Amino acid sequence: MSLANRDLVTMDDLSYGEMEAVFSLADEMSDAMAEQLDTCRGKVMASLFFEPSTRTRLSFEAAMHRLGGDVISVSDARASSVAKGESLADTARVVGSYADIIVVRHPWEGAARVVADYADVPVINAGDGGHQHPTQTLCDLFTLKKERKDIRGLKIALWGDLKYGRTIHSLIFALAKFGADILFCPSPGLEVPDNIIRKLTAEYGGQVEHVTAPERTADGAPFPLDAVYMTPSSPHQLAMMPDVNVAVSLEEGVDAIYVTRPQKERFVDDEEGQDLKGKYPVVDKKLLKGKRFERALVMHPLPRVDELAYDVDADPRSMYFKQAARGVPIRMALITMLLGARDISIQAEEDISVLSPDYPVYQRDYGARCPNPACVSTKETEAQYLKSEFRIVSREPLTLRCIYCEHGFQPEYVASTDWHEGRVATKRYHRANSYWARKIKPENLIVFGSVDDAETHGFTYGRHEGTKKVKK
Amino acid sequence: MSLANRDLVTMDDLSYGEMEAVFSLADEMSDAMAEQLDTCRGKVMASLFFEPSTRTRLSFEAAMHRLGGDVISVSDARASSVAKGESLADTARVVGSYADIIVVRHPWEGAARVVADYADVPVINAGDGGHQHPTQTLCDLFTLKKERKDIRGLKIALWGDLKYGRTIHSLIFALAKFGADILFCPSPGLEVPDNIIRKLTAEYGGQVEHVTAPERTADGAPFPLDAVYMTPSSPHQLAMMPDVNVAVSLEEGVDAIYVTRPQKERFVDDEEGQDLKGKYPVVDKKLLKGKRFERALVMHPLPRVDELAYDVDADPRSMYFKQAARGVPIRMALITMLLGARDISIQAEEDISVLSPDYPVYQRDYGARCPNPACVSTKETEAQYLKSEFRIVSREPLTLRCIYCEHGFQPEYVASTDWHEGRVATKRYHRANSYWARKIKPENLIVFGSVDDAETHGFTYGRHEGTKKVKK
Amino acid sequence: MSLANRDLVTMDDLSYGEMEAVFSLADEMSDAMAEQLDTCRGKVMASLFFEPSTRTRLSFEAAMHRLGGDVISVSDARASSVAKGESLADTARVVGSYADIIVVRHPWEGAARVVADYADVPVINAGDGGHQHPTQTLCDLFTLKKERKDIRGLKIALWGDLKYGRTIHSLIFALAKFGADILFCPSPGLEVPDNIIRKLTAEYGGQVEHVTAPERTADGAPFPLDAVYMTPSSPHQLAMMPDVNVAVSLEEGVDAIYVTRPQKERFVDDEEGQDLKGKYPVVDKKLLKGKRFERALVMHPLPRVDELAYDVDADPRSMYFKQAARGVPIRMALITMLLGARDISIQAEEDISVLSPDYPVYQRDYGARCPNPACVSTKETEAQYLKSEFRIVSREPLTLRCIYCEHGFQPEYVASTDWHEGRVATKRYHRANSYWARKIKPENLIVFGSVDDAETHGFTYGRHEGTKKVKK
């Protein structure tokens, strides 16, 4: 079996068995670093960083060099053709003809998907806005595995900015795939986005239980617990044991606390920044004295700002520098496998498959566009060639998920092509939660972002729900 | 024969035979990419990009890596010593002592010439302001050759910004050298500069015929044809057949349409930008349906903005991604040859020589300077050590061409050293188009940019043309 | 003997014998450049340039490539995690886990020391603010040695900005170690800082004699001589021959004039820039015609601006392009030795040791901080984990030297821990020059930057000197 020519854009792109294969090769390479110089000799990696980075770019580049390969690198968007208004698709196609593999970081969500779609070579997402950062997650899991042997059944607290932290988003799905339980401990206002919770429960199984206020502060120490995810493979699965007491389970302590900095560069308005002042939960020596954290690994994707105190650095539970250091062998293993320089053996029947439902596709030239302002499909240079495209992930309520940024949204108005094709009189639109809406077949569905959007395209409000025009 | 230690600053630096040798080596290397890793092993290329670039820099760097060589790179002028006010000559001398070959891109016209003059190693111009970009032209020609076998006699339409497009300027001379006919189709106001037309006809032979308005719109489709260049080697050479009907010839269709984006970053004033709005000719699927474009290759140096529609990408006539991809083998071949890692065989007698007239040189410490504000010789850091230097390319009208930026200009006033040396009374200056001016020997010529310029240097207006002082 | 795993932060880090070993290996490598490709094969150098550079970064990177090693590079602080507020310690720890050696340039003084303290691999200072730039000094000394064989006894004039020129600061100590005499020729207002003079005389021996005004302009030519340093190993040592006439000694001429540009980017206020206008001493052909400069090598670390005229370039005495070119073999030798790829042999007994007094250490969580605004220890991101730390280099007057930036300062107020521990009544502070102050043991010393600083910490002004409160 081979991973050659595959892309790694989101955690969906790697099965459990494939991740284990990456860890196994990373382990092998760590132990024989100096012997890898011929592994990718003659191969060229393009490292396209359109957003500031030190750690990720340098560790990818160091990994490629330690494999004997070469690197061509863009480290500043302002010094590239992007400054001249070039689209991602053009950049991808051209760079894909120079290099054997592309690593891309970009501020737009879904950018890595576009690069993967247009380049002829394997593409690795090194972070796309607030969406995902799968190689960081591989480093995180590899560290958990090295320190705790088995990730299954571990209780991992995710701490801080769970809204914009792309490393968090990737990690959630990976932990679910490995059968860990997740404790969501967000800074107020920076909770995990709904679309992630929805995907997690619908596609990965398990259940999310929201935690009520009083439980949050048990044992005095601040513990901003907001929700708990319990995987289906976990023995104390909530779905099976509905009375499980989350607080009791917490008393046993967490296995790891995964801290993140507030991703201020992605905050949509100043308010979000203001809200943080003095409220962001700080992890320091004092917090870690609590019994719940007795055996907790302290993890952080770095860089840190103020949320993780320097007094933790000397603590044997601190893992963040180890996570960073493991970035090199993990990325060496991944690059090697995507370049097809090494095959892997996975018993397909042993692999843990994730439910990837065959959601219907929604794509039209007009009507609703992705409402996420950070989505690549909404950007001027990209809208020239990218059509909005969604998966219909739920009918009640009607929910569409952008194929680029994976943002989910519930359109307010719908229509059907079989009501009006050729017959203007029946170009009617309805509320998405109406009786009529539920009867539209996916392939006939038209969604509108607003009344204006619908009426601009010549639709009128459905008579079945009355003749009064909807107020805008 | 060897190209070792040669520079490539303008298309004048390579003969027809040498270009064919580059293409032949590029072909050979394309077919055996993996076997080139020892070709330039141990060699270091300095890649100095003082202006934004992705494509060109990355393809040069990928080329060097595929040859087994190494790269040191500057991709942002603001992060280099240029920010401390260093001159190009100093940068060139120093970097020339670190690296075996230098590739330079710079916003100033003539900058690559200065680097070539001061560095002790081969220098390749990767674009100097609006002047030239010879390696892009090699990719363009290589693509024409691969697709059409023989470039001689092809009809190539150059489309869009012919004024500031440096790739256009390099391509014009190269097409002439290969015996192609050129159709100039500029966006209004962005016509080919006069100095290029002058050099083309005077040094490359052939003739340029301006096209009158009615012919521009034959067959309905927009075709902003402005002028046609017919090479002397072309069978339907205008000079030999003065009645040739350009419109008829066009009816046979063009072989390639070479599209360029408006080089807005070089526009001298806002007006040029304003003039473009809605007027810049767009190449799209609809335009290409015209009979004239039936077999036309669609070429573009990239990046594109709006002038080339995405709906052309899937058309088999679209060549721009191929042009880009061919940048790697072309640059591999060129680097190999300039580093002397491979000799070439050209039968000198078979080579097509270009008329390179032995123009007299004009150089003085005072008097007219190059009037091109983008010329390297006019910049503060460079004027400390660079003297203005020109070739006298015509006497009637008196025309000087800057040796750096190749901008041509016609000075208004002249004087002669043999009229006044030691005799102040005869320090007279005259109008450049006067009877007296024509009698001055090139070695005695002094030119002035203005009356002020002349009088500041102690000259007075020539008595032979009256005693009245010229009005400023 | 081996230099493996050593850092090079200041010139104190290399003994005379070790520098000679670097020069000897550089010589050997220059002569066999093409044979070094396996010397550091498989090793990765991180090149972290948080301040603009061309020369230094490119020569380090070229050196690593010529040794067969690879490079990961940051050339713009704005495009790195520093932009997200990461501390130097975190960057150092992480990058030290990717690379085998780190080269760092940073605008903050003492930054390289912090990187060396926190990274697990050898660290080379490539310039830290106005502090030091030791590898430039190695190029300078290597050039002196190649041109003059023996540096001992040479008279070297340091010219221009002796205040902010970090190459000057490193060179001063190195010249002293090699037994050269130094003529300080500063631009007015840009004299060598006191802390450097103090360290030079206290730790390197020899003596500094200030030159009175009339001597500065002997023989007409501008010669802004301000002070002369005579090394103890010099035969005409001032200490031994107190009547030596500096002017007479100058008549014999200088061996080298080391010119520097005004480091305008480090000027603290506009005034310093204003003062320079027209006063900065320019070195040109005319100046060098003077008898004193007859055999003077003209040196400059580059980049130059206006202080060194282009008319000197063709003069055989000009050394600056040779200095730059020698940067590659010098850095190759240094990298090789710090990576332990080659051992060196130095007879320890033959080595010239420098007096490195065992100064008492001063470190407290409160009280005076380093008053140098460019010092790394005063920066917000670094103050989270760095404690101020000083060496007590003198008791009369009481002088502390920051261990990071080496800036020296004389605190105004002091107290002693043995006067007050457990007894609030005796928490008194005194003037640093008082009788009581002199009696405090180093380990008990507390220093305060101001009256406020002292009183904020609960100290009151010492009764022994009266009960009146000191006016703020």
Chain A contact present for C64, CB below 8 A: no
pLDDT digits (tens, 9 = 90+) for A281-327: 889 999 999 888 999 999 999 999 889 999 999 999 999 999 999 99
Note the pLDDT of residue C280. Answer: 83
Note the pLDDT of residue A339. Answer: 98
Chain C residue closest in CA terms to B84: C303
Instruction: Kindly report the CATH number assigned to the domain that includes residue A89.
Output: 3.40.50.1370
Note the pLDDT of residue A233. Answer: 52
C66–B90 C-beta distance less than 8 A: no
In DSSP terms, B428 is beta-bridged to B460
Kindly provide the residue ranges of all beta strands, DSSP E only, lying in A411-463, ordered along the sequence. Answer: 413-416, 428-431, 445-448, 460-461
* Mutation to test the A interface, candidates B58, B82, B322, most A Cβ within 10 Å: B58
Contact A429, A415 (CB under 8 A): yes
| Burial track B239-253 (b if 16+ CB lie within 10 A, e otherwise) | eeeeebebeebbeee
Q: Is B239 helix (H, G, I), strand (E, B) or coil?
A: coil
Domain assignment present for residue A5? The answer is: no
| DSSP string computed for C111-127 | HHHHHHHH-SS-EEEEE
Q: How confident is the model at residue C85 (pLDDT cuts 50, 70, 90)?
A: confident
**Res. C93: pLDDT tops 90:** yes
**Res. B133: pLDDT tops 90:** yes
Domain assignment present for residue B353? The answer is: no
Domain assignment present for residue C62? The answer is: yes
Q: Is A361 helix (H, G, I), strand (E, B) or coil?
A: strand
Note the pLDDT of residue C273. Answer: 64
Residues A163 and A254 in one domain: yes
Range in A34-43, B461-470, C151-160 with the lowest mean pLDDT: B461-470
Q: How far is CA A308 from CA A37, A159, A301, C309, in A?
A: 37, 11, 11, 53
Structural domain range at position B140: 135-324
Q: How confident is the model at residue B435 (pLDDT cuts 50, 70, 90)?
A: confident
A84–B302 C-beta distance less than 8 A: no
Residues A183 and A304 in one domain: yes
d(CA A470, CA A465): 10
| DSSP secondary structure code for residue A219 in this structure | T
- What phi and psi values does residue B72 have, to the nearest 5 degrees? -115, 140
Mean pLDDT of A59-71: 98
Domain assignment present for residue C3? The answer is: no
Number of independent structural domains in chain B = 3
Chain A contact present for C102, CB below 8 A: no
Chain B residue closest in CA terms to A100: B62
Residues A447 and A422 in one domain: yes
Highest mean pLDDT pick, A335-349, B272-286, C107-121: C107-121
Domain assignment present for residue B317? The answer is: yes
d(CA A159, CA A299): 10
Q: Is B219 helix (H, G, I), strand (E, B) or coil?
A: coil
Chain C contact present for B231, CB below 8 A: no
Residue among A222, A281, A290 nearest A251 (CA): A290
Note the pLDDT of residue C219. Answer: 53
Residues of B in contact with A106 (CB under 8 A): none
The counts of H helices and E strands in chain A are 15, 18
pLDDT digits (tens, 9 = 90+) for B243-284: 445 555 667 789 999 999 998 888 877 666 666 666 788 899
The overall longest dimension of chain C from CA atoms, in Å, is 76
Higher pLDDT, C403 or C211: C403
Kindly provide the residue ranges of all beta strands, DSSP E only, lying in B348-389, ordered along the sequence. Answer: 361-362
Residues C292 and C382 in one domain: no
Residue where a domain terminates, one of B348, B383, B402: B348
Residue C149 neighbours by CB distance under 10 Å:
8
Q: Is C453 helix (H, G, I), strand (E, B) or coil?
A: helix
**Res. C464: pLDDT tops 80:** no
The helix (H) or strand (E) run that includes residue A383 is helix A380-383
Chain A residue closest in CA terms to B320: A94
ipTM for this model: 0.91
> How close B56 comes to chain C (CA, Å)?
19
Tokens 């180093």 belong to residue: C442
d(CA A47, CA C181): 50
> How close C128 comes to chain B (CA, Å)?
16
**Chains contacting chain B through 3 or more C-beta pairs under 8 A:** A, C
> How close C74 comes to chain A (CA, Å)?
7
Contact C252, C276 (CB under 8 A): no
Residues C374 and C234 in one domain: no
Tokens 């970064």 belong to residue: C57
**Res. B444: pLDDT tops 70:** yes
Tokens of C112: 């390289």
Give chain B's mean pLDDT: 87
Chain A contact present for C257, CB below 8 A: no
- What phi and psi values does residue A251 have, to the nearest 5 degrees? -60, -25
* Mutation to test the A interface, candidates B33, B48, B54, B264, most A Cβ within 10 Å: B54
Domain assignment present for residue B354? The answer is: no
Residues C148 and C291 in one domain: yes
**Residues in A 289-348 with any Cβ partner in C closer than 8 A:** 302-306, 310, 313, 321, 324-325, 327-328
* Percent of chain C's residues with pLDDT above 90: 60
In DSSP terms, A208 is beta-bridged to A229
Residues A152 and A259 in one domain: yes
Cβ pairs A/B, distance under 8 A: 83
Higher pLDDT, A243 or C145: C145
C49–B95 C-beta distance less than 8 A: no
B79–C55 C-beta distance less than 8 A: no
* Percent of chain A's residues with pLDDT above 70: 85
| DSSP secondary structure code for residue C398 in this structure | E
* Percent of chain A's residues with pLDDT above 90: 60
Chain C contact present for A44, CB below 8 A: no
Residues C144 and C108 in one domain: no
Residues A52 and A157 in one domain: no
pLDDT digits (tens, 9 = 90+) for C414-450: 998 887 666 666 788 999 988 888 889 999 999 998 8
pLDDT digits (tens, 9 = 90+) for B391-432: 999 998 999 999 999 999 999 999 988 876 656 667 889 999
Give Rg (Cα) of chain B. Answer: 24
**Res. A467: pLDDT tops 80:** no
Chain A contact present for B49, CB below 8 A: yes
C86–A53 C-beta distance less than 8 A: no
Residues B231 and B344 in one domain: no
d(CA A447, CA A363): 10
Q: How confident is the model at residue B376 (pLDDT cuts 50, 70, 90)?
A: very high
**Res. B460: pLDDT tops 50:** yes
Residues B312 and B382 in one domain: no
Chain C contact present for B471, CB below 8 A: no
Residues C166 and C231 in one domain: yes
Overall residue count recorded for chain A in this entry: 472
Q: How confident is the model at residue B168 (pLDDT cuts 50, 70, 90)?
A: very high
Domain assignment present for residue C67? The answer is: yes
> How close B49 comes to chain C (CA, Å)?
12
Domain assignment present for residue B188? The answer is: yes
Among the partner-chain residues A58, A75, A304, the one whose CB lies closest to the CB of C90 is A304
B305–A94 C-beta distance less than 8 A: no
Note the pLDDT of residue C365. Answer: 80
C310–B385 C-beta distance less than 8 A: yes
Residues of B in contact with A46 (CB under 8 A): 58, 62
